[in-house]
Amino acid sequence: MAKVTFVQFSGETTTIDADNGDSVMKIALDNLVPGIDADCGGECSCATCHILVESEWMVRVGAGNDQENAMLGLNPDREPNSRLSCQIAMTDELNGLVVNLPEFQY
Amino acid sequence: MHVDTNHKVFSSEGGITLGDQDEDFTLPMFIAMDPPKHDDQRKVVSPVVAPINLVKLESTIRARAANLLDALPVGEEIDWVDRISIELTTQMLATLFDFPFEQRRKLTRWSDVATANLEQGIIESEDQRREELVECLTTFIEIFKERQQTPGDNDLITMLAHGESTKDMLERPMEFLGNLILLIVGGNDTTRNSITGGILALNQHPDQYQKLRENPGLIASMVPEIIRWQTPLAHMRRRALEDTVIGGKTIKKGDKVVMWYVSGNRDESAIETPDKFIIDRARPRQHLSFGFGIHRCMGNRLAEMQLRIVWEEILKRFDTVEVVGEPTYIRSAFVKGYAHLPVVLHKK
Protein backbone atom coordinates (compact mmCIF):
# COMPACT_ATOMS: atom_id res chain seq x y z
CA MET A 1 0.00 0.00 0.00
CA ALA A 2 1.13 3.54 -0.74
CA LYS A 3 -0.61 6.82 -0.02
CA VAL A 4 -1.34 9.35 -2.75
CA THR A 5 -2.93 12.76 -2.19
CA PHE A 6 -4.92 14.57 -4.88
CA VAL A 7 -5.20 18.35 -4.54
CA GLN A 8 -8.11 19.82 -6.51
CA PHE A 9 -7.75 23.18 -8.24
CA SER A 10 -10.10 24.51 -5.53
CA GLY A 11 -7.62 23.35 -2.88
CA GLU A 12 -9.70 20.44 -1.59
CA THR A 13 -7.59 17.34 -0.91
CA THR A 14 -8.29 13.61 -0.99
CA THR A 15 -5.82 11.00 0.25
CA ILE A 16 -6.13 7.41 -0.95
CA ASP A 17 -4.43 4.21 0.21
CA ALA A 18 -3.53 2.67 -3.11
CA ASP A 19 -2.24 -0.70 -4.26
CA ASN A 20 1.29 -0.74 -5.60
CA GLY A 21 1.30 -1.06 -9.36
CA ASP A 22 -1.92 0.89 -9.91
CA SER A 23 -1.57 4.04 -11.96
CA VAL A 24 -2.41 7.37 -10.37
CA MET A 25 -5.11 7.75 -13.04
CA LYS A 26 -6.74 4.43 -12.11
CA ILE A 27 -6.63 5.30 -8.41
CA ALA A 28 -8.47 8.57 -9.11
CA LEU A 29 -11.13 6.86 -11.25
CA ASP A 30 -11.66 3.92 -8.88
CA ASN A 31 -12.12 6.30 -5.94
CA LEU A 32 -14.25 8.85 -7.81
CA VAL A 33 -11.72 11.64 -7.35
CA PRO A 34 -12.93 14.36 -9.73
CA GLY A 35 -10.76 16.25 -12.22
CA ILE A 36 -9.42 13.38 -14.29
CA ASP A 37 -11.31 12.36 -17.44
CA ALA A 38 -9.06 9.57 -18.75
CA ASP A 39 -10.82 9.43 -22.11
CA CYS A 40 -8.45 6.82 -23.55
CA GLY A 41 -8.58 4.64 -20.45
CA GLY A 42 -4.87 4.78 -19.70
CA GLU A 43 -3.17 4.44 -23.08
CA CYS A 44 -1.15 7.68 -22.97
CA SER A 45 -3.00 8.97 -25.99
CA CYS A 46 -5.57 11.61 -24.97
CA ALA A 47 -3.81 13.69 -22.28
CA THR A 48 -7.04 14.09 -20.26
CA CYS A 49 -5.43 12.74 -17.08
CA HIS A 50 -2.99 15.64 -16.81
CA ILE A 51 -1.64 16.34 -13.31
CA LEU A 52 1.02 18.59 -11.83
CA VAL A 53 3.34 16.64 -9.56
CA GLU A 54 4.18 18.47 -6.30
CA SER A 55 7.68 19.78 -7.01
CA GLU A 56 9.49 17.94 -4.23
CA TRP A 57 8.26 14.63 -5.69
CA MET A 58 9.48 15.30 -9.22
CA VAL A 59 12.87 13.69 -8.64
CA ARG A 60 11.32 10.40 -7.59
CA VAL A 61 8.51 10.45 -10.14
CA GLY A 62 10.82 11.38 -13.03
CA ALA A 63 10.00 12.48 -16.55
CA GLY A 64 7.69 10.85 -19.08
CA ASN A 65 8.65 8.99 -22.25
CA ASP A 66 8.55 10.36 -25.80
CA GLN A 67 4.91 9.53 -26.38
CA GLU A 68 3.84 11.19 -23.15
CA ASN A 69 5.89 14.27 -23.98
CA ALA A 70 4.35 14.44 -27.45
CA MET A 71 0.87 14.44 -25.92
CA LEU A 72 1.73 16.94 -23.17
CA GLY A 73 3.42 19.14 -25.77
CA LEU A 74 0.01 19.98 -27.25
CA ASN A 75 -1.32 21.28 -23.94
CA PRO A 76 -0.90 25.07 -23.61
CA ASP A 77 -1.09 24.72 -19.81
CA ARG A 78 1.90 22.41 -19.61
CA GLU A 79 4.32 23.11 -16.75
CA PRO A 80 7.75 21.60 -15.97
CA ASN A 81 6.06 19.31 -13.41
CA SER A 82 3.26 18.20 -15.78
CA ARG A 83 2.75 14.45 -16.16
CA LEU A 84 0.02 12.15 -17.41
CA SER A 85 -1.25 10.26 -14.40
CA CYS A 86 -1.87 7.08 -16.39
CA GLN A 87 1.91 6.78 -16.77
CA ILE A 88 2.79 6.91 -13.05
CA ALA A 89 2.49 3.58 -11.24
CA MET A 90 2.48 3.59 -7.43
CA THR A 91 5.43 2.00 -5.60
CA ASP A 92 6.70 2.01 -2.00
CA GLU A 93 9.09 4.72 -3.05
CA LEU A 94 6.18 6.98 -4.01
CA ASN A 95 4.37 6.48 -0.69
CA GLY A 96 3.06 9.94 0.28
CA LEU A 97 2.99 11.32 -3.29
CA VAL A 98 1.11 14.61 -3.76
CA VAL A 99 -0.35 15.56 -7.15
CA ASN A 100 -2.22 18.73 -8.13
CA LEU A 101 -5.12 18.72 -10.58
CA PRO A 102 -5.18 21.42 -13.24
CA GLU A 103 -8.16 23.75 -13.62
CA PHE A 104 -9.13 22.08 -16.89
CA GLN A 105 -8.44 18.91 -18.81
CA TYR A 106 -8.04 19.41 -22.58
CA MET B 1 -5.71 3.22 -31.26
CA HIS B 2 -2.46 1.45 -32.12
CA VAL B 3 -2.35 3.28 -35.45
CA ASP B 4 -3.52 6.63 -34.09
CA THR B 5 -0.81 6.70 -31.41
CA ASN B 6 2.08 5.57 -33.62
CA HIS B 7 2.51 8.65 -35.75
CA LYS B 8 6.14 7.74 -36.45
CA VAL B 9 5.03 4.65 -38.39
CA PHE B 10 1.61 5.81 -39.59
CA SER B 11 1.94 9.18 -41.27
CA SER B 12 -0.76 11.78 -41.82
CA GLU B 13 1.31 13.65 -44.40
CA GLY B 14 -0.65 14.31 -47.57
CA GLY B 15 -4.13 13.24 -46.53
CA ILE B 16 -6.34 11.79 -43.81
CA THR B 17 -9.33 10.51 -45.77
CA LEU B 18 -9.81 7.48 -48.02
CA GLY B 19 -9.25 9.34 -51.28
CA ASP B 20 -6.25 11.42 -52.27
CA GLN B 21 -6.29 15.11 -53.03
CA ASP B 22 -5.92 16.28 -56.62
CA GLU B 23 -2.23 16.52 -57.39
CA ASP B 24 -2.55 20.00 -58.85
CA PHE B 25 -4.78 21.30 -56.08
CA THR B 26 -3.37 20.03 -52.79
CA LEU B 27 -4.26 21.83 -49.60
CA PRO B 28 -1.67 21.38 -46.87
CA MET B 29 -3.27 21.56 -43.40
CA PHE B 30 -1.87 20.60 -40.04
CA ILE B 31 -4.23 17.65 -39.56
CA ALA B 32 -2.47 16.18 -42.61
CA MET B 33 1.08 16.88 -41.44
CA ASP B 34 3.53 15.05 -39.21
CA PRO B 35 5.65 16.55 -36.43
CA PRO B 36 7.35 18.94 -36.07
CA LYS B 37 5.34 21.12 -38.49
CA HIS B 38 2.02 19.75 -37.25
CA ASP B 39 2.86 20.61 -33.64
CA ASP B 40 4.07 24.13 -34.49
CA GLN B 41 0.96 25.07 -36.47
CA ARG B 42 -1.53 23.41 -34.15
CA LYS B 43 -0.08 25.18 -31.13
CA VAL B 44 -0.78 28.56 -32.75
CA VAL B 45 -4.53 28.06 -33.00
CA SER B 46 -5.31 25.64 -30.19
CA PRO B 47 -5.62 28.34 -27.47
CA VAL B 48 -8.81 29.66 -29.09
CA VAL B 49 -10.64 26.50 -28.07
CA ALA B 50 -8.78 26.02 -24.79
CA PRO B 51 -11.11 25.55 -21.80
CA ILE B 52 -10.16 28.90 -20.25
CA ASN B 53 -11.29 30.67 -23.42
CA LEU B 54 -14.47 28.59 -23.57
CA VAL B 55 -15.55 29.90 -20.19
CA LYS B 56 -15.64 33.36 -21.78
CA LEU B 57 -17.64 32.07 -24.77
CA GLU B 58 -20.27 30.22 -22.76
CA SER B 59 -22.66 33.11 -22.18
CA THR B 60 -22.53 34.09 -25.88
CA ILE B 61 -23.29 30.54 -26.99
CA ARG B 62 -26.13 30.25 -24.51
CA ALA B 63 -27.71 33.55 -25.55
CA ARG B 64 -27.54 32.59 -29.21
CA ALA B 65 -28.97 29.13 -28.61
CA ALA B 66 -31.78 30.65 -26.55
CA ASN B 67 -32.60 33.17 -29.29
CA LEU B 68 -32.72 30.49 -31.96
CA LEU B 69 -34.91 28.17 -29.92
CA ASP B 70 -37.28 30.97 -28.90
CA ALA B 71 -37.81 31.88 -32.55
CA LEU B 72 -38.93 28.37 -33.56
CA PRO B 73 -42.60 27.73 -34.32
CA VAL B 74 -44.27 25.19 -32.03
CA GLY B 75 -46.53 22.47 -33.42
CA GLU B 76 -45.53 22.68 -37.08
CA GLU B 77 -42.98 20.75 -39.11
CA ILE B 78 -39.52 22.31 -39.39
CA ASP B 79 -36.10 21.11 -40.53
CA TRP B 80 -33.96 20.73 -37.40
CA VAL B 81 -30.74 20.57 -39.44
CA ASP B 82 -31.22 23.94 -41.10
CA ARG B 83 -32.95 25.83 -38.30
CA ILE B 84 -30.81 24.73 -35.36
CA SER B 85 -27.82 22.49 -36.12
CA ILE B 86 -26.42 24.50 -39.03
CA GLU B 87 -27.38 27.89 -37.68
CA LEU B 88 -25.91 27.34 -34.22
CA THR B 89 -22.60 25.89 -35.39
CA THR B 90 -22.26 28.55 -38.07
CA GLN B 91 -22.81 31.34 -35.56
CA MET B 92 -20.17 29.77 -33.36
CA LEU B 93 -17.74 29.55 -36.23
CA ALA B 94 -18.32 33.20 -37.16
CA THR B 95 -17.54 34.09 -33.55
CA LEU B 96 -14.30 32.08 -33.49
CA PHE B 97 -13.08 33.68 -36.73
CA ASP B 98 -14.63 37.06 -35.89
CA PHE B 99 -16.11 36.76 -39.39
CA PRO B 100 -18.72 39.32 -40.58
CA PHE B 101 -21.79 37.95 -38.82
CA GLU B 102 -24.36 38.66 -41.53
CA GLN B 103 -22.22 36.76 -44.06
CA ARG B 104 -21.83 33.71 -41.83
CA ARG B 105 -23.62 31.26 -44.15
CA LYS B 106 -20.64 31.61 -46.48
CA LEU B 107 -18.73 29.59 -43.89
CA THR B 108 -21.35 26.85 -44.05
CA ARG B 109 -21.14 26.87 -47.82
CA TRP B 110 -17.33 26.61 -47.86
CA SER B 111 -17.45 23.79 -45.34
CA ASP B 112 -19.96 21.89 -47.50
CA VAL B 113 -18.05 22.60 -50.71
CA ALA B 114 -14.76 21.41 -49.21
CA THR B 115 -16.07 18.00 -48.15
CA ALA B 116 -18.69 17.39 -50.85
CA ASN B 117 -18.34 14.61 -53.36
CA LEU B 118 -19.81 15.10 -56.80
CA GLU B 119 -22.76 12.72 -56.27
CA GLN B 120 -24.19 14.91 -53.52
CA GLY B 121 -25.20 17.71 -55.87
CA ILE B 122 -23.62 20.41 -53.67
CA ILE B 123 -21.14 21.16 -56.42
CA GLU B 124 -21.30 20.24 -60.10
CA SER B 125 -17.61 19.89 -60.83
CA GLU B 126 -14.12 20.02 -59.38
CA ASP B 127 -13.67 23.33 -61.19
CA GLN B 128 -16.59 24.76 -59.28
CA ARG B 129 -15.07 23.51 -56.01
CA ARG B 130 -11.82 25.28 -56.81
CA GLU B 131 -13.52 28.51 -57.75
CA GLU B 132 -15.50 28.62 -54.54
CA LEU B 133 -12.54 27.70 -52.36
CA VAL B 134 -10.41 30.36 -54.03
CA GLU B 135 -13.16 32.84 -53.15
CA CYS B 136 -12.86 31.60 -49.56
CA LEU B 137 -9.10 32.15 -49.71
CA THR B 138 -9.32 35.69 -51.12
CA THR B 139 -11.93 36.64 -48.52
CA PHE B 140 -9.70 35.45 -45.71
CA ILE B 141 -6.54 37.00 -47.18
CA GLU B 142 -8.22 40.38 -46.77
CA ILE B 143 -9.23 39.56 -43.20
CA PHE B 144 -5.71 38.30 -42.44
CA LYS B 145 -4.16 41.54 -43.74
CA GLU B 146 -6.62 43.56 -41.71
CA ARG B 147 -5.80 41.65 -38.52
CA GLN B 148 -2.07 41.99 -39.18
CA GLN B 149 -2.59 45.74 -38.85
CA THR B 150 -5.34 45.71 -36.24
CA PRO B 151 -5.28 42.56 -34.14
CA GLY B 152 -8.66 41.32 -32.96
CA ASP B 153 -9.47 39.99 -29.54
CA ASN B 154 -8.41 36.33 -29.54
CA ASP B 155 -9.91 35.20 -32.85
CA LEU B 156 -8.40 32.48 -35.03
CA ILE B 157 -7.26 34.75 -37.85
CA THR B 158 -5.52 37.14 -35.47
CA MET B 159 -3.74 34.14 -33.95
CA LEU B 160 -2.58 32.94 -37.37
CA ALA B 161 -1.54 36.45 -38.42
CA HIS B 162 0.66 36.85 -35.35
CA GLY B 163 1.75 33.26 -34.56
CA GLU B 164 5.48 32.63 -34.96
CA SER B 165 5.11 29.67 -37.35
CA THR B 166 2.07 31.02 -39.24
CA LYS B 167 2.49 34.81 -39.58
CA ASP B 168 4.10 34.41 -43.02
CA MET B 169 1.36 32.06 -44.21
CA LEU B 170 0.16 34.39 -46.97
CA GLU B 171 3.37 33.47 -48.79
CA ARG B 172 2.00 29.92 -48.83
CA PRO B 173 -1.62 30.58 -49.85
CA MET B 174 -2.56 26.93 -50.37
CA GLU B 175 -1.40 26.16 -46.86
CA PHE B 176 -3.43 29.09 -45.55
CA LEU B 177 -6.49 27.82 -47.40
CA GLY B 178 -5.85 24.27 -46.17
CA ASN B 179 -5.77 25.34 -42.56
CA LEU B 180 -8.84 27.54 -43.00
CA ILE B 181 -10.76 24.62 -44.42
CA LEU B 182 -9.58 22.42 -41.57
CA LEU B 183 -10.81 24.90 -38.98
CA ILE B 184 -14.08 25.56 -40.83
CA VAL B 185 -14.90 21.89 -41.38
CA GLY B 186 -13.64 20.87 -37.96
CA GLY B 187 -15.85 23.40 -36.23
CA ASN B 188 -18.88 22.87 -38.38
CA ASP B 189 -19.85 19.47 -39.79
CA THR B 190 -18.97 17.51 -36.70
CA THR B 191 -20.91 19.46 -34.09
CA ARG B 192 -23.75 20.09 -36.54
CA ASN B 193 -24.31 16.38 -37.06
CA SER B 194 -23.97 15.59 -33.37
CA ILE B 195 -26.66 18.16 -32.52
CA THR B 196 -28.96 16.45 -35.05
CA GLY B 197 -27.84 12.96 -34.03
CA GLY B 198 -28.86 13.55 -30.42
CA ILE B 199 -32.43 14.40 -31.46
CA LEU B 200 -32.65 11.27 -33.59
CA ALA B 201 -31.11 9.03 -30.91
CA LEU B 202 -33.55 10.19 -28.22
CA ASN B 203 -36.49 9.67 -30.57
CA GLN B 204 -35.30 6.14 -31.32
CA HIS B 205 -34.85 5.47 -27.58
CA PRO B 206 -37.93 7.00 -25.90
CA ASP B 207 -37.05 5.44 -22.53
CA GLN B 208 -33.84 7.47 -22.56
CA TYR B 209 -35.73 10.65 -23.48
CA GLN B 210 -38.01 10.07 -20.48
CA LYS B 211 -35.00 9.51 -18.22
CA LEU B 212 -33.53 12.80 -19.45
CA ARG B 213 -36.76 14.77 -18.82
CA GLU B 214 -36.85 13.42 -15.27
CA ASN B 215 -33.19 14.18 -14.66
CA PRO B 216 -31.62 16.94 -16.79
CA GLY B 217 -28.40 16.40 -14.83
CA LEU B 218 -27.82 13.44 -17.15
CA ILE B 219 -26.92 15.88 -19.95
CA ALA B 220 -23.31 15.63 -18.70
CA SER B 221 -23.06 11.93 -19.52
CA MET B 222 -25.42 12.13 -22.50
CA VAL B 223 -23.15 14.52 -24.41
CA PRO B 224 -20.24 12.06 -24.84
CA GLU B 225 -22.78 9.29 -25.52
CA ILE B 226 -24.23 11.37 -28.39
CA ILE B 227 -20.73 11.87 -29.79
CA ARG B 228 -20.04 8.13 -29.61
CA TRP B 229 -23.42 7.11 -31.01
CA GLN B 230 -23.21 9.59 -33.89
CA THR B 231 -19.45 9.32 -34.63
CA PRO B 232 -19.62 12.41 -36.88
CA LEU B 233 -16.40 11.51 -38.69
CA ALA B 234 -16.53 7.87 -39.68
CA HIS B 235 -12.81 7.39 -40.22
CA MET B 236 -9.32 8.81 -40.39
CA ARG B 237 -6.59 7.53 -42.68
CA ARG B 238 -2.83 7.12 -42.38
CA ARG B 239 -0.04 5.86 -44.63
CA ALA B 240 2.56 3.36 -43.40
CA LEU B 241 6.14 4.68 -43.52
CA GLU B 242 7.63 1.19 -43.12
CA ASP B 243 6.60 -2.47 -43.34
CA THR B 244 4.69 -3.37 -40.21
CA VAL B 245 2.13 -5.79 -38.77
CA ILE B 246 -1.27 -4.95 -37.25
CA GLY B 247 -3.40 -7.69 -35.70
CA GLY B 248 -1.39 -10.34 -37.55
CA LYS B 249 -1.83 -8.66 -40.94
CA THR B 250 1.13 -7.38 -42.92
CA ILE B 251 1.07 -3.73 -43.88
CA LYS B 252 3.56 -2.74 -46.57
CA LYS B 253 5.41 0.54 -46.61
CA GLY B 254 3.26 3.05 -48.52
CA ASP B 255 -0.04 1.27 -47.82
CA LYS B 256 -3.01 3.28 -46.70
CA VAL B 257 -4.41 2.31 -43.32
CA VAL B 258 -7.94 3.35 -42.36
CA MET B 259 -9.16 3.63 -38.78
CA TRP B 260 -12.93 3.13 -38.79
CA TYR B 261 -13.92 5.04 -35.67
CA VAL B 262 -17.56 4.31 -36.48
CA SER B 263 -16.86 0.58 -36.20
CA GLY B 264 -14.74 0.87 -33.06
CA ASN B 265 -17.51 2.82 -31.39
CA ARG B 266 -19.80 -0.18 -31.94
CA ASP B 267 -17.26 -2.77 -30.73
CA GLU B 268 -19.08 -5.06 -28.31
CA SER B 269 -15.78 -6.30 -26.88
CA ALA B 270 -15.06 -2.77 -25.60
CA ILE B 271 -18.54 -1.26 -25.12
CA GLU B 272 -21.54 -3.02 -23.61
CA THR B 273 -24.63 -3.11 -25.90
CA PRO B 274 -22.93 -0.63 -28.22
CA ASP B 275 -25.89 -0.20 -30.58
CA LYS B 276 -28.03 1.09 -27.72
CA PHE B 277 -28.03 4.78 -26.88
CA ILE B 278 -27.74 4.90 -23.07
CA ILE B 279 -27.47 8.38 -21.57
CA ASP B 280 -26.13 7.21 -18.22
CA ARG B 281 -23.53 4.71 -19.37
CA ALA B 282 -20.51 3.95 -17.20
CA ARG B 283 -17.44 5.75 -18.59
CA PRO B 284 -19.20 7.33 -21.59
CA ARG B 285 -16.12 9.36 -22.48
CA GLN B 286 -14.19 6.30 -23.59
CA HIS B 287 -15.11 6.48 -27.27
CA LEU B 288 -13.10 6.93 -30.47
CA SER B 289 -14.89 9.88 -32.08
CA PHE B 290 -12.18 12.44 -31.26
CA GLY B 291 -9.34 10.15 -32.30
CA PHE B 292 -6.25 9.65 -30.16
CA GLY B 293 -2.61 10.65 -30.19
CA ILE B 294 -1.20 13.96 -31.40
CA HIS B 295 -4.01 14.51 -33.95
CA ARG B 296 -6.75 14.14 -31.35
CA CYS B 297 -9.58 16.59 -31.96
CA MET B 298 -8.57 20.06 -30.88
CA GLY B 299 -12.13 21.38 -30.54
CA ASN B 300 -13.46 18.52 -28.39
CA ARG B 301 -14.27 20.73 -25.39
CA LEU B 302 -15.98 23.35 -27.53
CA ALA B 303 -18.10 20.66 -29.18
CA GLU B 304 -19.07 19.20 -25.82
CA MET B 305 -19.91 22.63 -24.47
CA GLN B 306 -22.12 23.49 -27.48
CA LEU B 307 -24.01 20.21 -27.12
CA ARG B 308 -24.42 20.67 -23.37
CA ILE B 309 -25.78 24.20 -23.74
CA VAL B 310 -28.16 23.40 -26.58
CA TRP B 311 -29.62 20.52 -24.58
CA GLU B 312 -29.95 22.59 -21.40
CA GLU B 313 -31.85 25.20 -23.38
CA ILE B 314 -34.03 22.63 -25.22
CA LEU B 315 -35.10 20.98 -21.97
CA LYS B 316 -36.11 24.35 -20.48
CA ARG B 317 -38.52 24.96 -23.36
CA PHE B 318 -39.78 21.78 -24.95
CA ASP B 319 -41.28 18.57 -23.66
CA THR B 320 -40.39 16.78 -26.88
CA VAL B 321 -38.60 17.51 -30.11
CA GLU B 322 -40.49 14.89 -32.10
CA VAL B 323 -38.97 13.43 -35.25
CA VAL B 324 -41.84 13.21 -37.77
CA GLY B 325 -40.15 11.71 -40.82
CA GLU B 326 -37.08 9.89 -42.04
CA PRO B 327 -33.79 11.79 -41.87
CA THR B 328 -31.97 12.50 -45.13
CA TYR B 329 -28.39 11.29 -44.79
CA ILE B 330 -25.29 12.86 -46.31
CA ARG B 331 -23.72 10.65 -48.94
CA SER B 332 -20.15 10.28 -47.69
CA ALA B 333 -17.79 7.69 -46.23
CA PHE B 334 -16.13 10.41 -44.14
CA VAL B 335 -18.77 12.80 -42.81
CA LYS B 336 -21.50 10.81 -41.09
CA GLY B 337 -24.38 13.20 -40.96
CA TYR B 338 -27.72 14.56 -42.01
CA ALA B 339 -28.96 16.89 -44.71
CA HIS B 340 -32.47 17.20 -43.21
CA LEU B 341 -34.42 16.02 -40.19
CA PRO B 342 -38.12 16.93 -40.01
CA VAL B 343 -39.32 17.61 -36.46
CA VAL B 344 -42.29 19.08 -34.59
CA LEU B 345 -41.76 20.86 -31.29
CA HIS B 346 -44.05 20.25 -28.30
CA LYS B 347 -44.05 22.85 -25.57
CA LYS B 348 -43.39 22.00 -21.95
List, for residues B248-259, the tens digit of each pLDDT value: 999 999 999 999
The answer to whether position A35 is within a domain reads yes
Strand partners, B257: B238
Domain coverage including residue A94: 2-100
For the question of an ipTM over 0.85, the answer is: yes
- Mean pLDDT of the B267-286 span: 96
Confidence bin at B24 (pLDDT 50/70/90): confident
Residues of chain B in contact with residue A103, where contact means CB-CB under 8 angstroms, are 51-52
Nearest CB partner across the interface for B46, out of A43, A76, A103:
A76
Q: What angle do CA B57, B58, B61 make, to 5 degrees?
A: 85
Please indicate whether, in this complex, the C-beta atoms of B301 and A104 are within 8 angstroms of each other. Answer: yes
Task: Report the half-sphere exposure of B65 (CA within 13 A, side-chain side).
Answer: 23
Residues of chain A in contact with residue B43, where contact means CB-CB under 8 angstroms, are 74, 76
Q: How far apart are alpha carbons B236 and B257 in whole angstroms?
A: 9
The answer to whether position A105 is within a domain reads no
Whole-model pTM: value is 0.93
- Mean pLDDT of the B226-254 span: 96
- The whole-chain average pLDDT of chain B stands at 94
Q: Which of residues 1-20 of A touch B (CB under 8 A)?
A: none
The count of structural domains within chain B is: 1
The answer to whether position A106 is within a domain reads no
The count of structural domains within chain A is: 1
- Mean pLDDT of the B57-69 span: 93
User: What pLDDT, on a 0 to 100 scale, did the predictor assign at position B250?
Assistant: 96
Domain coverage including residue B118: 2-347
The answer to whether position A11 is within a domain reads yes
Cα–Cα distances (Å) from B237 to A27, A62, B7, B110, B130, in that order, read 34, 35, 12, 22, 23
Share of chain B above pLDDT 90, in %: 80
Residues 6+ apart with CB under 8 A from B325: B77, B342
Query: Do B27 and B177 meet the contact criterion of CB atoms below 8 Å apart?
Result: yes
Amino acid at B11: S
- Mean pLDDT of the A22-39 span: 96
Task: Report the half-sphere exposure of B238 (CA within 13 A, side-chain side).
Answer: 25
Confidence bin at B19 (pLDDT 50/70/90): confident
Nearest CB partner across the interface for A74, out of B46, B290, B292:
B46
Whether pLDDT at B286 is above 80: yes
- In terms of CA atoms, which chain A residue is nearest residue B43? A74
Instruction: Specify the range with the lowest mean pLDDT, choosing from A66-80, B64-78, B109-123, B132-146.
Output: B109-123
For the domain that residue B182 is a member of, what is the CATH number? 1.10.630.10
Whether pLDDT at B129 is above 80: yes
Q: How far apart are alpha carbons A41 and A72 in whole angstroms?
A: 16
Task: Report the half-sphere exposure of B153 (CA within 13 A, side-chain side).
Answer: 4
Nearest-CA distance A36 → chain B (Å) = 11
First to last CA, chain A: 31
Alpha helices per DSSP H over chain A: 24-30, 58-61, 66-72
Whether pLDDT at A21 is above 80: yes
Confidence bin at A11 (pLDDT 50/70/90): very high
